Amino acid sequence: MKVIKNIILVITFFAFGTYIGKLIFGRSSDVPAPAPTYFQSGVSNDSSGIGAGTITGKIINVTAGQSIQDAVGKATPGDLIRIYPGVYNETVYIDKDNITLQGVIEKGEWPVLDGQKTMNDAILYSGNGVLVENMKITNYKGNGIMGQAGNNYVIRNNWIVDTGVYGIFPQFGKNGVVERNVLTGIEDAAIYIGMCDNIDVRFNEVYGNVAGIEIENSRHALVEFNYAHDNTGGILAFLTPGLPIKTCYDVIIRNNYVYNNNTKNFGAVGSTVSHIPKGTGILIMAADDITVENNIIMGNDNAGITITDYGYAGVDHASDPESEPNSDRITLLENFMSNNGNDPIDDVKALMVTQLSKNGPDIIAVGGGAGSCVVNPARYRTFGLDKYANCTATDTRAVKTYMLPKPVTPRATTLAEKGKMTYFAVCSGCHAYSTRLVGPPLNVIQALYKNNPKGIEDFITKPVHKRDDYPEMPPQNYLTEDTRKAVSEYILTLTK
């Protein structure tokens, strides 16, 4: 056991060392591309389809004593922010697209974001195409890295220790990858994929958390080659009621190491994960179309794999009529399972007594659900698989990745379209075509600025009070220059 752990650690460090070596020695600092070559190999499961980390702009260096947020403030899409070793006490928020935050690790010295247990979150992003790598993040109360509706994200090679509720938490994001991160000491899920689509979670190590990896109300997730050990629960796939996204399906959990997840539950009262019994390897609750394949699941004291609906899970959430509570179409392919169930909770013990066993199961399925199957169940200690058919599927090798082949692009809009949207969203509050609202009618403005959109543009940027019979117009300088130009042109085309 210990040997295996050591081998994995050695491999991890070797891979890491190679990568960092390339980073430090393989490039001079004026070569900005942060992606190691193995991600650019063009093989189908690299992250080149995400687009994040494509540096087209400037490099901003941040050194100890400076503020990362100041650098984000100066950055424009396509810029690379390199953060040198030192301790940074701040919350960094990125409300811009295509920003890369790259820690620079020198001789083993990491750049550290330290919230000193007084700050909420280390990194918040809402932009698309955000990449965060090589940061050590510790002592926050909320999250290490939280995304809110940012698509095309890459979060990798970060070392996250006790950042509160979650470690890495992309929410409402489509097309992303979370890989090669090490996370520990998190009181809910270390890696929490919430209400996302098309996401790969791979090569991460999660230990000493309540939940290692949680895929919740997300679709098309591949959880692969992770090492989840010594958590309360290792890897979870949940459909939680009461959220605006009402489904969790198409999740593949394969080739993971799920060992000894026997840590006492230290989740906050009322949280979903506070109900997870210690000793939980893999837990599937109310999620559908989940495949569990080729994992090594050992030493989890309650059960190796638990499949449940809400009723059995003991979660006291209010129910949700739009949220289907059963785990349906679960596919359990070949898994290496051993030494699970050494100290099951009382409820599981009571069930296993009916099987004349004192130990907990490798696999337990309780509650409702239909259409599930299992391969070769006789080799495991199981409970509740009577309804499970023999699987016709043999493997998931056709799925290399759930990331998209191309980045999700913003809705294709022309500048003209933007001008029109801006007119209705902003200008029409005070101007109508031929009647007076707050400001003069547009046909009057059109007559004044015939063939002169630049005149309108200049005026709305910095209005001067021209007419006593109307109030002074507030400046519209919060619109970008090209938007102001587009809306000025649009105004001259209106006919009604």
Per CB under 8 A, which of residues 315..354 are in contact with another protein?
Answer: 316-321
Q: What is the DSSP string of 254-301?
A: ES-EEE---PPP-PPTT-GGGGPPSSEEEEEES-EEEEEES-EEE--S
Q: Is 250 exposed, middle or buried (0-12, 13-18, 19+ CB in 10 A)?
A: buried
Residues of this chain, 282-321, that bind another protein according to CB under 8 A? 316-321
Verify binding: residue 432, another protein, rule CB under 8 A: yes
Verify binding: residue 67, another protein, rule CB under 8 A: no
Minimum distance from residue 283 beta carbon to another protein (Å): 16
> Which residue lies nearer to another protein by CB, 108 or 270?
270
> Which residue lies nearer to another protein by CB, 333 or 403?
403
Minimum distance from residue 345 beta carbon to another protein (Å): 21
Verify binding: residue 416, another protein, rule CB under 8 A: no
**Can you tell me the distance from the alpha carbon of 256 to that of 223, in angstroms, rounded to the nearest whole number?**
8
Member of 135, 177, 196, 486 binding another protein (CB under 8 A): 196
Verify binding: residue 429, another protein, rule CB under 8 A: yes
**Cα-only R_g, the chain:** 27
Member of 85, 86, 142, 377 binding another protein (CB under 8 A): 142
Minimum distance from residue 494 beta carbon to another protein (Å): 10
> Which residue lies nearer to another protein by CB, 52 or 352?
52
Verify binding: residue 18, another protein, rule CB under 8 A: no
Minimum distance from residue 387 beta carbon to another protein (Å): 27
Phi, psi torsion values for 471, nearest 5 degrees: -70, 160
Minimum distance from residue 138 beta carbon to another protein (Å): 16
For residues 419, 420, 421, 427, the Cα torsion angle rounded to the nearest 10 degrees is 90
Verify binding: residue 93, another protein, rule CB under 8 A: yes
Member of 5, 329, 400, 418 binding another protein (CB under 8 A): 418
State the CB neighbour count (10 A cutoff) for residue 61: 13
- Taking CA atoms, 54 is separated from 21, 24, 33, 124, 407, in Å, by 21, 19, 7, 20, 12
- Taking CA atoms, 301 is separated from 236, 261, 274, in Å, by 16, 7, 17
> Which residue lies nearer to another protein by CB, 304 or 325?
325
Specify the DSSP element, H or E, that contains 60: strand 59-62
The token duo for 140 is 């926050």
Verify binding: residue 404, another protein, rule CB under 8 A: no
Member of 2, 28, 30, 269 binding another protein (CB under 8 A): 269
Verify binding: residue 165, another protein, rule CB under 8 A: yes
* Span of 350-358, 378-386, 393-401, 422-430 interacting with another protein by CB under 8 A: 422-430
Residues of this chain, 203-242, that bind another protein according to CB under 8 A? 219, 242
Residues of this chain, 455-484, that bind another protein according to CB under 8 A? 478-480
- Contact of 318 with 241, CB cutoff 8 Å: yes
Residues 6+ apart with CB under 8 A from 228: 205, 206, 207, 212, 213, 234, 235, 256, 257, 258, 259, 261
Member of 10, 31, 64, 268 binding another protein (CB under 8 A): 268
Member of 98, 151, 204, 280 binding another protein (CB under 8 A): 151
Verify binding: residue 197, another protein, rule CB under 8 A: yes
Long-range contacts of 357-361 (CB under 8 A, 24+ apart): 357/381, 360/279, 360/301, 360/302, 360/303, 361/303, 361/304
DSSP 180: S
Q: Is 41 exposed, middle or buried (0-12, 13-18, 19+ CB in 10 A)?
A: exposed
Minimum distance from residue 183 beta carbon to another protein (Å): 15
For residues 302, 218, 125, 120, the Cα torsion angle rounded to the nearest 10 degrees is -30
Minimum distance from residue 322 beta carbon to another protein (Å): 9
For the window 369-398, what string marks contact with another protein as x by the rule CB under 8 A?
------------------------------
Residues of this chain, 176-195, that bind another protein according to CB under 8 A? 195
